[in-house]
Amino acid sequence: MTFAKSARCAFVVALGLACLATAAGPIAAEESQKAQIDALRKAMEKYQDYKVAVRDLYLSTVGCIHYAGEKIPDHMVYAKGAMGVHFVNLTIKGPPDPMKPNVLIYEPVGKKLKLVAVEWLVPLTPDTKEPPKLFGETFMGPMEGHEPLIPKEFVHYDLHAWLFKNNPLGMFAPTNPSVSCKNSDFALLEKPTKMIHGH
C-alpha cells in the first residue's frame, strides 16, 4: 500500500469516527433526557391521588382550561384542545427544577381527577436574560397571566410535560386535543394570552 493510499484510508477512518462521535452526541443527550423524564414521571406518580397533591401544597384553581384554537395577532398560539385543572404550588420558587414542577394538571374523568401533565411556571423578572430551558426545550413566553385565574400582570414563561397522557401534538405542547373538559362542571374556555415583546 502506498503512503498516499494509506493516508487516504486513515483519513476515511478518522472521518468515520468523527461522524460517529457527532451522531452519538444528540443520541446521548436524548437518552439522558429520557432518563430524566422517566425519573420525573416516577416521582410524580404519587400525585395521581389529588389529596396527596393538596397535602404537599398543590392547590386547585378549580377551572378546567380549554382552548378553541383561535389565532389572535400578538397572542400566544394554542392549538384546539385542553390543559385541564391546574393545581399550583406557590412554595416552589427559584429557577425551574426538572424534578419539582410547580403545577400539576388533572383531567376530569367521570367523578375523578386523573393526573395527565405537569408544568413549570416561571415569572419574568428584571434579571431574566433569556427564556428558561428544561429537557432541551425552551419555555414559551414571556406572556401575560391567564385571566381570569391568573392576573394578566403576572408575566411569565411556562413549559408543559404530558407525562401521563399521550399528546398527539408532542410531549411539551401546551394543549392536548386528547384531553377534555366536558366532564367538568367548571369548564373554562380561555382566550390566548398576550405575548410580551422585547424579551
Give the span between the Cα atoms of 133 and 176, in whole angstroms.
21
Which residue type is seen at 174? Answer: P
Cβ contact 66:187 at 8 Å: yes
**Residue 129: its pLDDT value, please?**
86
Q: Which of 124, 116, 115, 173 is nearest to 145 (CA)?
A: 124
- Of the listed ranges 23-27, 54-58, 63-67, the one predicted with least confidence: 23-27
Residue 82 has pLDDT above 50, yes or no: yes
Q: d(Cα 105, Cα 118) in Å, to the nearest integer?
A: 6
Judge whether residue 9 has pLDDT over 80. no
Q: What is the pLDDT of residue 21?
A: 38
Please check whether residue 87 is in contact with residue 60, taking contact to mean a CB–CB distance below 8 angstroms: yes
What integer is the mean pLDDT of 111-127? 95
Residue pLDDT, tens place only, 85-95: 999 999 999 99
What is the model's pTM?
0.84
Ramachandran angles phi, psi of 69, nearest 5°: 85, 10
**pLDDT over threshold 60, residue 28:** no
How many helices (H) and strands (E) the chain has is answered by 2, 9
**In this predicted model, what pLDDT tens digit does every residue of 34-59 receive, in sequence order?**
999 999 999 999 999 999 999 999 99
- Cell readout for 187 is 369548564
Q: Looking at the predicted structure, is the pLDDT value of residue 13 above 90?
A: no
Q: How far apart are CA 148 and CA 60, in angstroms?
A: 14
In this prediction, residue 8 has a pLDDT band, given cuts at 50, 70 and 90, of very low
Task: Supply the pLDDT for residue 15.
Answer: 35
Kindly state the percentage of the chain with pLDDT values over 90: 76
User: How much is the pLDDT for 32?
Assistant: 77
54: left (phi over 0), alpha (psi -120 to 50) or beta: alpha
CB 101 within 8 A of CB 118: yes
Kindly indicate the confidence band of residue 128, based on its pLDDT and cuts at 50, 70 and 90: confident
* pLDDT bucket at 198, cuts 50 / 70 / 90: low
